[in-house]
Structure 1
Amino acid sequence: MFAEERQALIVDLVASSNRVTVSDLATRFDITPETVRRDLDTLESSRQLRRVHGGAVSFDRQSMAELSLEERQTQHSDEKQRIAAAALALIPASQTGSILLDAGTSTELLADLLVDWAPAAPADELLVITNAVPIATKLAANPAIQIYILGGRVRGLTRAVVGPSTIAQLDALRPDIAFVGANGVHAEFGFSTPDAIESAVKTAIVRSARRVVALADSSKLDKETLIRFAALGDIDVLITDALPSNELAAALAAADVEVVIA
């Protein structure tokens, strides 16, 4: 097999599985690891994949890649709707309670469902704390819900309120449940996001709540982005739309994370 043919097959493998390893490629093509590394170097130089430790990944898995809120709202919308509905089922209507909604598309869909929330009895109340400007705006339309929006700097790309003052406010709060989004959920790396400032806020959200529920559609599973904001064991429940891979499922079970498939 010519090198060009082999490299074309490697590109196809990366496209289908998102990641390849040097050892697997060496076995598949019956070549030395050194030859595989030369192939990967050639393909990276032509921007057909990206080298990582032990192998390569597709370019769409760059650790700092981040879409805008508007772009993310058009992706996996059906799956996110199901995830939001499953998250809504965790919010009580029959007692006074507080929840915290992180900025993100899945949490914003949860907020859409909460616009119609009503208490089971007149004395029951729900306080929603959020660092998301769109979520606070939507929920302000429901007089049955008290809204507390965290202060700080608004990050234009995601409409999230971030910064040291946001973290300081979170450190003084203890909500019953926090719903947090993630860009990546990985067996070894945990829950991650591309931006350092938002990661710090997410870490504070996870630290603040009595119970933490992560909302992540299946496109985020087995993915790593730049910055870890929580280990698997820091999360109580993961709501997603498909069964995790065997490796991730085992890691979640070992960390005592309940997995809800929406």
Structure 2
Amino acid sequence: MATVAQINGRQSTIVAITNDTGRCSVADLAERFCVTAETIRRDLKSLEAKGLLRRVHGGAVAGALTPQSDLVATDDDDELPIQQSQRRKNLIAQKAIELIPSPTAAIFIDAGSTTEAFASTLAHNYRGQNWSIVTNSPNVAHTVAAVGVPQVTILGGTIKARTQAVVGPNAVETLRSLRADIAFMGTTALSLTHGLTTSDPREAAVKETMISQSNHVVVLCDSTKLGRESNVQFAKLSDIDVVVSDRNVPPDFTSKLHPYDTSMVIP
């Protein structure tokens, strides 16, 4: 049985290797230290708990998982207390993960605090899937790339300070050359009369293009945004396949979406 000093020495070396090369594999580490793969997995679990690396399928990568409560983007209009709002976003994100159609899906992820919660949940559930992700959020891109998602593309343009969204003609033009199996979108407001709206025409242009270039569109929207309107429409309800919200959705709202062939999913 290894001594505490030996375990600490092995784990220190694992951290050094991971930081130097960006990642490490369970198989290589087991061979290097002449221990079982299960021993290395326990080491990686311990090191991840200390915030020294991130576990991914088959090994680990440098850096620590960003806690979902530390997301940077802020919605244009969020009246809930921070902790209550974040709990709702996390539950929405966990339900939305189930909608990814395949382990090889091409995915668009919009910018915003709820989509950042989705990206963090995606990272926690990454087990080597061959997803291809395109996003206009630096935070989303960092979160999914850091756990080893093989293809992560961030759109170019101007970054908005509050929502951390990349906007502008370059982002829109790039999106027009791409297709996605599924898009996960945020919104400032969602109403039966004006569909999905936001406050910034530049963000609206990016959102509208993401939706038009996607085979399936999922909106991540907590119940406080339902029945409300903002300045710029970027989608009609008939453009949306699924709305993922929370348990505080008004009782009759789900049935009112049926004429638009839009489904409501609640965790």
Quickly name the TM-score band, shorter chain normalised.
Answer: 0.5 to 0.7
Q: Using the TM superposition, give the Cα deviation of residue 147 of structure 1 relative to its aligned residue in structure 2, in angstroms.
A: 0.7
2:116 is aligned with 1:111: no
Please name the residue that 2:29 is paired with: none
1:89 deviation in Å?
1.1
* Local SS of the residue matching 1:242: coil
Aligned amino acid, residue 105 of structure 2: G
Assess if the C-alpha contact under 8 Å between 2:254 and 2:263 holds in 1: no
Structure 1 stretches lacking a partner, 5+ long: 1-64
**Number of aligned residues:** 192
Assess if the C-alpha contact under 8 Å between 1:218 and 1:244 holds in 2: yes
Q: Which of residues 173, 182, 207 is equivalent to 1:177?
A: 182
1:249 to 1:116, Cα distance in 2 relative to 1, 3 A: closer
State the 1:97 CA deviation: 1.6
| 1:77 matched residue in structure 2 | 86
Give the structure-2-normalised TM-score: 0.66
Q: Distance in 2 between matches of 1:79 and 1:127?
A: 26
Change (3 A) 1:149 1:257: same
**What do the CA deviations read for 1:223-242 (whole angstroms, capped 9, x no partner)?**
11111110000000000003
Equivalence for 2:216: 211
Within a 5 Å distance, the mapping from 1:212-251 to structure 2 comes to: 212-242=217-247, 244-245=249-250, 248-251=253-256
1:179 is paired with a residue of what secondary structure? Answer: strand
Q: How does 1:23-42 map to 2 (within 5 A)?
A: none
- Whole-Å Cα distance in 2 between the matches of residues 189 and 242 of structure 1? 23
Distance 1:244 1:252 in 2: 12
Question: Is the Cα contact below 8 Å between 1:184 and 1:223 reproduced in 2?
Answer: yes
Shift of 1:117: 3.4
CA contact (8 A) 2:195 2:233 kept: yes
- Given candidates 80, 87, 90, the residue that maps to 2:96 is 87
TM-score where L is the length of structure 1 = 0.68
In 2: Cα distance, 1:178 partner to 1:153 partner: 21
What amino acid is aligned across from residue 227 of structure 2 in structure 1?
Answer: D
In the alignment, is the contact (CA less than 8 A) between 2:105 and 2:181 conserved in 1?
yes
* SS of residue in 2 equivalent to 1:205: helix
- Output the CA distance in 2 between the equivalents of 1:178 and 1:78: 22
Task: Report the AA paired with residue 114 of structure 1.
Answer: L
Tell me the CA shift for residue 116 of structure 1.
2.9
Answer yes or no: is the 8 Å Cα contact 1:73–1:105 preserved in 2.
no
Residues 177-229 of structure 1: CA distance to partner in whole angstroms, max 9, x if unpaired?
A: 10000111101111111111111111111111110000000000111111111
Q: Is the 8 A contact 2:186 2:220 kept in 1?
A: yes
Over residues 85-130 of structure 1, what are the superposed CA-to-partner deviations in whole Å (9 max), with x where a residue is unaligned? 00111124x53221111001111011111223334xx7x5111110
